[in-house]
Amino acid sequence: MSVSALTLMTLGFLFILGLVADLIGRNTPIPRVSALLVFGIIIGPSGFDLLPVAIEHWMPVVSDIALASIGFLLGNSFNISRIHSSGKAVLSISIFVALATTAVVSSGLWLAGVSLPVALICGGIAPATDPASTVDVISESKSEGEFSETLLKITAIDDAWGLIIFSLMFAAAQIEMLDGGGLHTLLDGFSEVLVSVLLGVALGVPMSFLTGRILPGEPSLVEGLGMVFICSGCALWIGASYLLSAMVMGAVVANLARHHERPFCAIEGVEWPLLVIFFIFAGVCVRREFFWSNILLIVFYILLRVASRFVGTYGGALIAGKTGRFGGWMGMALMPQAGIALGMALTAANRFEEFQVVVSVIAATTVFFEIAGPICTRFALKMMGDINTGERHKKDDEGCSF
């Protein structure tokens, strides 16, 4: 069989697995992201090793494409008008919980004996959440109220803060790995972040004024993907963070492009097929030997992240003038973690082989948080009174008269 035929058949098989995962997510409590991860583990080296060797060459490229698209879409969260209308509570809680999660997880793992670079990477990944599952829970439970509205706004911007923090922590981890520190290497790390931001601005300004001026549909998709690919390619070429560059470019477009939002809408249309391949590959990257040999690291990461969410939201709520109860239940509601966390782990692993262990750790903890997280979110909404089960059933009964 030719390589082309094998490649096409493999791609088709992976997309069918994505369809199956979507059906599982719609009809069972198991999130589709978790299903895709499990599929990847089953068909990968840790399972039955069904994938052809040639597919290994796709993994870095597919990961870069998917994550650059996610980064661009996250940039839309930094629309100044939306942030301004979100209020003090959203900004205070989102920033405080991101910083607290990073500090608690990274320092906790380091004190537990984990190497400093791995601890920094895990701490940088920990603030990432899963807006999709949170929105699903709120929609499915028909939750309404101040708590639900604040939660939605926090999840909309939370991953963007997390991506900035991850970029800084990744730079710090590289400094520690390459020469053990030093002022000049610290400056190199910050310069990488600065170059990433400047690249995003340099490409985002012309994109804001040039795109979206023709018919919607395929032209907008070509424009959007074209600029995202150019941005991520340039970032990789000059050694910058393509995730951060793409996010900054998206933020610039969100604030300057007053005449359209078509690039964001167009890219959202192709996001899921890319993520199907991405999540399956993330499962393929999981190694049994890394999982069992780092089971304590996985447990510590889960415990530290859970504790840090409560600490961060409690402190952020008090600063914003909210009650401690409001902040405490918000911490439970922000437990889900999925796609962008795996993307960060793969970004680190693709740069340094030493971070391959992080992929296995984050894949395992993602399955845990994607199953337990939505349950925690729903419970928090119920405890805050945003889910009024009796009233909802009453309305349903009134609307179902025959």
pLDDT (0 to 100) of residue 303? 94
Instruction: With H, G, I as helix, E, B as strand and everything else as coil, classify residue 44.
Output: coil
Neighbour-count burial of 7, counting CB atoms closer than 10 A to its CB (0-12 exposed, 13-18 middle, 19+ buried): middle
The residue to which tokens 């080296």 are assigned: 45
- Residue range 244-301, pLDDT digits in tens: 888 888 888 888 876 555 556 666 666 678 778 777 877 776 777 767 778 889 999 9
Higher pLDDT, 67 or 183: 67
Which band of pLDDT confidence, cut at 50, 70 and 90, is reported for residue 393? very low
Which pLDDT band, with edges at 50, 70 and 90, does 189 fall under?
Answer: low
Comparing CA positions, the residue from 133, 164, 105 lying closest to residue 306 is: 105
For residues 316-340, average pLDDT: 85
Neighbours of 4 (CB within 10 A): 8
Q: Mean pLDDT in the chain?
A: 78
Distance CA(145)–CA(303), nearest Å, equals 29
pLDDT tier at 29 (50, 70, 90 boundaries)? Answer: low
Give the C-alpha separation, 362 to 368, whole Å: 10
Task: Read off the pLDDT of residues 87-122 as tens digits, 9 standing for 90 and up.
Answer: 677 888 888 999 999 999 999 999 988 888 889 999
Helical ranges in 145-182 per DSSP H: 146-179
Reply yes or no on whether the pLDDT at 302 is more than 90.
yes
Q: Which residue has the tokens 């870095």?
A: 60
Domains for the chain: give ranges and CATH numbers. Answer: 3-24+31-386 (1.20.1530.20)
